[in-house]
Chains A and B, each alone.
Chain A
Amino acid sequence: MIDKIMRILNRYGYVYLQGLWGTIWLSVVTITFATVLGTVIALIKMSKIKPAQWVINIYIEIIRGTPMLLQMYFFWLVLPKYMPFEVSDTQSILVALILNASAYIAEVIRAGIQAVDGGQTEAALSLGLSSRNTFFRVVLPQAVKNILPAMGNEFIVMIKETALASTFFIPELMTSYKTVQSATFLPIPALTIAGVIYLVLTFILTRGIGVLERRLRSNER
């Protein structure tokens, strides 16, 4: 087994490197856009604009109630067909990834903000703070502590979900596995290599977020 893995790495290491790069790229783009979009969605949901809230609620229900793979197929079929400009497979899949992740991140952010004790807002307002300062100087810093751990989980889920893009042969780690196994006919070693790379990736992220969390917490206790 070990020697088979070594042989594959020798010969096809670059395929995995390309795959790793694809996975990181897809994840970073998804996380970045989804964090921004998710924040906006969370703010709209907490606002008092009723029609906007309905739209957001329907969107979140659809995303949460259907499989990620189905959503990818949907955008992969619909976007190239109905968009006035050319849409690549990768772009369609990215749209699916971002819209999916945004819904979950929005819920994480909303829950984190609403978990801050209402008395904090009242105290800040009673001192004469503007609603802007109340939110950014009092509520948000406390919400971040609620949001961060859950956000870390979402990021890890997202990294793993990019693997579904292999269904559409978007370059990323699972696609690398498919390429290598069809060239070598050694599916188990080829899959093991991909698995170890995913593990290293998520392990680094988990630890990074853990450090950040502890640093925030050491402030208070």
Chain B
Amino acid sequence: MSDNITIQGSPMEQWKPIIKVENLHKSFGSVEVLKGISTTFYEGETVAIIGASGGGKSTFLRCINRLEQPTKGRILFDGADLADRKTDIAKYRQRIGMVFQHFNVFPHLTCIDNITLAPVLEKKIPKERAQKQAEELLARVGLSDKRDEYPTRLSGGQKQRLAIVRALAMEPEVMLFDEPTSALDPEMVKEVLDVIKSLSESGMTTLIVTHEMGFAREVADRLLFIDEGVICEEGSPKQVLDRPQNERTRQFLSKVL
């Protein structure tokens, strides 16, 4: 795309837009959860999406790969509108990985089969090559010895690391994390955040809905504060967390910090 822009705070870098969200609305029945969200995500940036429960941040994330069908608005990704029902979303989902709060690893498949399932079925990668790649991914998150185990034998943190590499096996261009540590025991949070952090540092475009403010401050390039279905405030973590401009942001932060 041609409209490269320069973001304040990182003056030397050129940022290329990768996902453009325009006036996104989502209603469940008569309840409007998203009330017109517009923002642009840039290649290689890490964006933390924060806000109170029920404010619409998870719904927003789930609209991006159309796990929720938006009611109105556009989500532009590589020339396609992902919010459009006519768009073949499966094709684009292969390029946008997602990690869930409750891991959702496949209990009927071994760890290695969890990882190779999608690449073999949908990208037609030969099984052997997919397995080799999966072994490398398992090694990267310290799960090599679990290769042939079923996920029921894994701890929560291990399941989530498996879920992350399962998504990475599709070689996505963007990764969505929907409260990836909220269902974890406290002692397992760090091992998962470390994986996400190294992913973010490797240049992966990362959108993460999180309650971990410390992590957001440390890893995110940009923070979005979503409340009552709109983006109330956005900016660098320093701006949003230390000098919030919006009254609702201040109220929220006073409760969580």
Does A125 lie within 8 Å of B93, measured CB to CB? yes
A86 within 8 Å of B (CB atoms) = no
Does B106 lie within 8 Å of A128, measured CB to CB? no
CB-CB under 8 A from A125, the residues of chain B are: 67, 90, 93
Does A129 lie within 8 Å of B122, measured CB to CB? yes
Q: With A138-B106, A141-B108, A220-B107 given, is the CB distance from A126 to B65 under 8 Å? A: yes
Q: Give 1 or 0 for each of A104-123: 1 = CB within 8 Å of chain B CB.
A: 00000000000001011011
Q: Tell me the A136-184 residues at the B interface (CB within 8 Å).
A: 137-138, 141-142, 145
Q: With A119-B100, A219-B108 given, is the CB distance from A127 to B166 under 8 Å? A: yes
A130 CA to B65 CA in the complex, in Å?
Answer: 14
A133 within 8 Å of B (CB atoms) = yes
CB-CB under 8 A from A117, the residues of chain B are: 104
Interface size class of B (residues with CB under 8 A): 20 to 34
* Interchain pairs with CB closer than 8 A, number: 73
Q: With A128-B170, A220-B152 given, is the CB distance from A142 to B93 under 8 Å? A: no
CB distance from B169 to the nearest CB of A (A): 8
CB-CB under 8 A from B121, the residues of chain A are: 129, 133, 137
Q: Give 1 or 0 for each of B86-105: 1 = CB within 8 Å of chain A CB.
A: 00001111111110101011
A214 within 8 Å of B (CB atoms) = no
B143 within 8 Å of A (CB atoms) = no
Q: Tell me the B18-42 residues at the A interface (CB within 8 Å).
A: none
Q: With A126-B167, A127-B117, A133-B122 given, is the CB distance from A120 to B106 under 8 Å? A: yes
CB distance from A200 to the nearest CB of B (A): 34
Partner of A127, one of B91, B93, B107: B93
Q: With A117-B104, A120-B106 given, is the CB distance from A128 to B98 under 8 Å? A: no
- Closest chain A residue, CB of each to CB of B105: A123
B188 within 8 Å of A (CB atoms) = no
A215 within 8 Å of B (CB atoms) = no
- Closest chain B residue, CB of each to CB of A145: B108
Q: A128-B90, A129-B122 are in contact. List 15 more A-B contacts (CB 8 A).
A: A125-B90, A126-B93, A126-B96, A126-B97, A126-B98, A126-B100, A127-B93, A127-B94, A127-B167, A128-B93, A129-B121, A133-B122, A142-B107, A142-B108, A220-B150
A-B contact pairs, 9 of them (CB 8 A): A117-B104, A119-B100, A123-B100, A124-B118, A126-B100, A127-B122, A128-B118, A131-B90, A141-B108
Residues of B within 8 A of A (CB): 65, 67, 90-98, 100, 102, 104-108, 117-118, 121-122, 150, 152, 163, 166-167, 170
